[in-house]
Amino acid sequence: MTYDRLVCANCAAPVNEGRCPVCRANRARLQNEGPLGGGLNPMTLIALLAILIAAVALLAHQTA
């Protein structure tokens, strides 16, 4: 999620303007999370990739 469209519940201003401490804290938190939301670590991404490869291999084996 990007913070350019979020409105702060504390000051009712856009979060990207950083008018109050709550805005600045949330803006910093969102910037540190990265493009994927910060919830996925590299091991999780590797596991998801392995599952995807296994699923594609299984589908290829069934159709052949």
pLDDT digits (tens, 9 = 90+) for 8-56: 888 988 888 888 998 888 888 877 766 555 567 788 889 999 999 999 9
Q: Are residues 29 and 8 in the same domain?
A: yes
Q: Please tell me the total count of domains within the chain.
A: 2
Q: Are residues 27 and 54 in the same domain?
A: no
**C-alpha distances out from residue 44 to 30, 57, 61, Å:** 20, 20, 26
Instruction: Let me know: does 38 contact 32? Beta carbons within 8 Å.
Output: yes
Structural domain range at position 25: 1-33
Question: In degrees, to the nearest 5, what angle opens at C-alpha 49 toward C-alphas 44 and 47?
Answer: 35
pTM: 0.47
> What is the rounded distance in angstroms from the CA atom of residue 17 to the CA atom of residue 23?
8
Please indicate whether residue 62 or residue 27 has the higher confidence score (pLDDT).
62
